[in-house]
Amino acid sequence: MHPALNIAIKAARRAGQIINRASNDIDLLKVAAKQPNDFVTEVDRAAEAAIIEMLQEAYPAYGILAEESGQSAGRGAGNSEFQWIIDPLDGTTNFIHGLPQYAVSIALAKNGVVEQAVVFDPNRNELFTASKGAGAFLNERRIRVSRRIKLQDALIGTGFPYRMFDKIDLYLDIFKELAQKTAGQRRPGAASLDLAYVACGRYDGFWEFGLSPWDMAAGALLISEAGGLVSDLRGDANYLDTGNIVAGTPKVFAPLLKLIEDKLPESVRG
């Protein structure tokens, strides 16, 4: 196992402990709204602080892009080619409501290319990991995307718009067509876990608009290392920049992307 992946796993598990302890006293949580329908809790901040402390202790020169604290350089070289991409609690709204669908997501990118990935579900104690070129794993067992080949047989994950509603009509149009052309769609509310579920075959595909890099970075590597395909709405690899992502098994990915592309006005593609 790569040393950086090992540190990321330890950091994710420490964050998971903080989250699990807090989940026993949700009613006592202090919750703030960053913007409408976008919440942060003291647990998000405590988990992020614990992750950053561990990562910086091991790799002080690496840069950090984290959801709650934003972008910061390591204690060493500010222009490091390496950057940690962190979501300490993906699915905060679920967490606030006591819905056990949330995760810790940590990725390490080198020159913008993600090379290490951890998604940890503290509720189920499921640890998804991947290293570029070395495969994807769930609790140390190799995982692969499903073998489904037809969109009509596919179970697709997605995420409803909840912060910016300028594309909600477009989203609902695509959702409506997919509802008629797939086996079903699911929206549990934690994109990092949704992507991990594609990697291990629980979903056959996933699509969403308007995500942040920390929502996608680790999960996207899990999928590609599990034999799946990931792209933005143009079929390119710029999803971390555009925030728009489509993913799936090799056979499901192409018709899923085409259906979405055919619905898009040129101004939205990217």
Tokens 């991990």, residue located: 196
Q: How far apart are CA 28 and CA 141, in angstroms?
A: 37
The CATH code that applies to domain 3-142 is 3.30.540.10
pLDDT (tens digit, 9 = 90+) per residue, 100-139? 999 999 999 999 999 999 999 999 999 999 999 999 999 9
Strand 245-248 relative to strand 70-72: parallel, antiparallel, unpaired? Answer: unpaired
pTM here?
Answer: 0.94
pLDDT (tens digit, 9 = 90+) per residue, 11-58? 999 999 999 999 988 887 777 777 665 667 899 999 999 999 999 999
Residue 270 pLDDT greater than 60, yes or no: no
What integer is the mean pLDDT of 63-75?
79
- Going by C-alpha positions, the residue among 135, 105, 95, 143 that lies closest to residue 9 is 105
**Domain edges within the chain:** 3-142, 151-263
User: If you average pLDDT over every residue of the chain, what do you get?
Assistant: 92
In the structure encoding, which two tokens stand for residue 204, read together?
């056959």
**Contact between residue 146 and residue 204 where contact means Cβ atoms under 8 Å apart:** yes
Tokens 């998604």, residue located: 119
What is the CATH class of 151-263? Answer: alpha beta
**Contact between residue 186 and residue 232 where contact means Cβ atoms under 8 Å apart:** no
